[in-house]
Amino acid sequence: MVVKKMGLRIRTVIIAFLVALVAGTLVGTVVQTQFNLLALQNLGVAISLEARWTATLHDLLHFAPLYAALFGTSFLLFQAIAALVLTRLPGWMLKPGHGVAGAAGLWAAFAITNALLPMPTLIAATRSVTGLLVMLLTAAWAGWLFARLAATNRANRTGTVTPVVAGVLLLGSLGFTETVRAQSAVDDYQVETVASGLEHPWSVAFLPDGGALVTERAGRLRQITPEGQLVNAPIKGVPPVFNSAQAGLFDVVLSPDFANDHRIFLAYACGTEAAYHLCVASAQLQRDQLTEVVEIFRARPAKEGSAHYGGRMVWLPDDTLIVTLGDGFDYREQAQKLSSHLGKIIRLNPDGSVPADNPFVGRDDALPEIYSFGHRNVQGLVYDAREDLLLAHEHGPRGGDEINVIEPGQNYGWPVITYGIDYTGAMITPYTAREGMKQPLLQWTPSIAPSGMTRYRGHLFPEWQGDLLVGALAARNVHRVTLNGLRANDAGILFGKLDARIRDVATGPDGALYLLTDSSDGKLLRITPMAGSDAVSSEVELVLSPEQLDWIGEQIFRNECAGQTRCLVHWNAGEAFPSLGIGHFIWYPAGVEGRFVESFPALVDFMRRRNVELPESLAELRPFDAPWADRDAFLQVSDSASVEDLRAFLMKTRAVQTEFIYHRARESLSRVIGAAPESKTDVVTARVAALSETPGGVYALIDYVNFKGEGLAESERYNGEGWGLLQVLLAMSGHPADTALDQFREAAARVLTRRADNAEAPIERERWLPGWLKRVETYVEPASRVIPE
C-alpha cells in the first residue's frame, strides 16, 4: 500500500511539473510576442488583429520549443532546490516559495545565456525592465501552479524531490538538429597567402605604391609592403579603440586626395561597454605612424553592449564620405527614429561637417548626418561609378540578409519589415513589406551572414565583370550576385573549399580578388585564375624595364594614332563605338551591345585605383556610358572644349595607360593558354615563352592582345573562326629555321586576312586590312639604341 501511494505521488508530481512547464512556456511565449508587437506600435505601426494572431501562432510553433528548453532547465533545477529548502519552512510558504523559485530560475537562465552568447539579449521582450518583470511573473506563476497541482503537504514534501528531478530530466532527451548548408566551389582559381597571423582582420585598403593597409579588430592597423611582406610592428598612433566581442577597429579608406594629403579614415568602436559609440577619425599616414589624428564623427546616443556597429565606409564622387551605423542589437527600434544615429547610413564631408544637401538637413526632428535609415547592421558597401549606384548589404537576424540600392532619405524598413525572424525563432514583425519602405534587391533566408563586398571591375575574371562578390561569415564562402539593372540574382558560391569566415572582399589594382579571413590567425588571400599548366607561371613572364615599357607604350600609340593627339578620342566610320586612348579602348554608348569586349571603363577604373585625377567629363558621368549616341552625334562635338580636354587628359596619362595595357596582357596570357585545346597546351605555352624572351616578342604579345583581343569570346568570331591572340599562337608554323617572332608576325597576317575574308562588311578588307598588316610588320626586334636594357 505504501509503495502504491508513493507511485501515485510520483505520478502526481511529474504531471504537475509538466503541466506547469507547458503552461509557463505558453504564457511566456504569448507575453513575449505581445511585447515585441508593442515595440512596433510605439513606432506608430498599426497591428491588426489578424497580424497579432499570425505572430502569436508563429511564436507558439517556433519560439516556444526553444523557450521550453531554456525555461524547463531552470525550472527543474530551481524547483528541486525550492523543494529541499521549503521542507524546513512553514507550509503557507510552499506556493509562494515555488513561485519565487520559478522567477529566480528564469532570471538566472536569462543572465547566463546573455553572458555566454554573442548577442547582448537573447529574448527581445526582456530588453526593457517592464518586459523582463512580466516574463519573470509568468515563471513565478508557473512555479505557483506546480505547487498548487502537486498539492504537496508537509508530511510528504521530502519524498517528492527525487521524483520531480527524475521526471523533468526526461526532458533532457529532447534535442535540436542543426541544418548543414551544402557548399560548392569553383576550381579555376589559385590562392596565394599574402599575409597571415592577422588577429580578426576586418578591412583592406590598397596603397598607390602597391602596398596595402589592413585593420585588425583588436585595434591595430597593419601595413603590407609593395613586395607583399607584412610589417611586423603595427602602425603607431591609432586612436583608442574599444575592443570587445564585435566591437573594435573596422574599416579603413584612403582620402580621395591621398596622393597629395596622405590622409586615411578609420571607423572604430570608441568608449566603454557601458557607453560606447561608432567613431570616425582621419589621420595622416607617415610611414609607420599616424599623425594629425582628428575624430570627425561620434554616433549618438551612447549605447550599452558590444554588438552591431556597422563600420563600413565609401567615398562618393563629390568627395563626401558614406558611413554605416548598426542598430546596437538591443536598440533595433532606434533604426526608425531620425533623432538617433543607430541603424542609419550617414554622409559627411571629409572634415566631419554635414553636406548641405543631405536629405534631412533643416529638420528639427532629425539628425542632419543621416542619409538613409531603417538598417540593422550594414557591413558591405560599394559605390559603382560606372552606374552611379550605392549598394549595401546588411545582416538580417535569422534569415533576411539583404542587398539594397541606397538612395538619400529612404527608409529600408528595419525592424518594421524584414524577411528574417529572431534568433530564438520569435517573429520580429508580421510584415515583410509596407508602404514607404524600400524592398531589397535580394534577400537570403537562411542567413549567410554577409560581410565585405566588391563589384568586380577587374580583368582576371571576365565572367564576373559587373558582379557583386559578397563575403559570408556563417556560410564560409563568397556569393556571386549578378546585376541586371535593378534585378539581382544569387548566381552561385565561390571559394567554398577555403572553409573560412570571409570578412572582407576587395578587387585589387592588379585585377586579382583579395579576401580577408576572420579568425585569430586571419589571412589576406590573393585569388587569381588557375594557370593552364606549371609552365605558365614558371616559363611565361613578361618582365620589362621601365624604359622597355615606355617604348612599347609609344609603339602602341603610333600604331593606333600615328602619335597624333586628336586620335586619342576618335570614332571610326563603320563602327558602333568610339575608341579612346593610346590603345583605342572601346567605349559603348548606352543600349549598344557590341561584338567586341569593352575596355575603356576598365581603364578608368584602373586610373581611379591609381588615384589619377579624372576630368569632370569622366568623373561626373552617370551612368558610365559613352556620352555620344552615335558617330554623327560625336562628330558634332568632336572639336568642343570638353572633348579637347579629354584628349589632353589622355595625352598626359599615356604612362598609366601603358601600365594598364601591360597588366591586361599579363592577365590574358594565362587565360589564353588555359583556353588552348588540351593537345596544344604545351605547344602554345612554349610559343608564348619563346616570344616573352625578347623585347620584340613581348611587344608583339602585348600589342596584339590589346589590338585584337584574346580570341576567347564567342562573339568575336566570323564563320566560327576567331582572330585573337590564341588563334595567332595556334597558327604559328613552328618551323625551326624561323624565330618565334617571325612565325608570330606571319601567323598574325594570315589570321587577320582570314578575318577580313570572312567579314560581311567590305570595309574590313578594303580599308582596315591594309592598316592591320602594316601594323603587324612592326613586330620586329628593336635596335638596341632604341630600347635600352
Q: How far does Cα 667 stand from its chain's mean position? A: 24
Instruction: Say how far apart CA 562 and CA 555 lie, in whole Å.
Output: 9
Cβ(525)–Cβ(189) below 8 Å: no
Cis (ω within 30 of 0) for the bond into 446? Answer: yes
Count CB atoms within 10 A of the CB of residue 130: 12
Smallest Cα–Cα separation from 789: which of 614, 543, 621?
Answer: 543
Count CB atoms within 10 A of the CB of residue 473: 20
Instruction: Say how far apart CA 369 and CA 361 lie, in whole Å.
Output: 8
User: Residue 778 gets which letter from DSSP?
Assistant: T
User: Residue 441 gets which letter from DSSP?
Assistant: S
For the record, the C-alpha cell of 513 comes out as 580578388
Which residue's entry shows cell 553592449?
305
φ, ψ of residue 204 in degrees (nearest 5)? -130, 140
For the record, the C-alpha cell of 345 comes out as 547610413
Instruction: Say how far apart CA 52 and CA 33 lie, in whole Å.
Output: 9
Q: Does residue 308 carry a catalytic annotation? A: yes
Angular region, 624: left φ>0, alpha ψ -120 to 50, beta rest: beta
Smallest Cα–Cα separation from 211: which of 155, 272, 252?
Answer: 252
φ, ψ of residue 150 in degrees (nearest 5)? -70, -20
φ, ψ of residue 113 in degrees (nearest 5)? -65, -45
Cis (ω within 30 of 0) for the bond into 368? Answer: no
E strand spans, 416-484: 442-444, 450-455, 468-472, 477-484
Check 200, 277, 308, 479 and give the catalytic one. 308
Instruction: Say how far apart CA 706 and CA 698 lie, in whole Å.
Output: 12
For the record, the C-alpha cell of 638 comes out as 568632336
Q: Which residues are catalytic?
A: 308
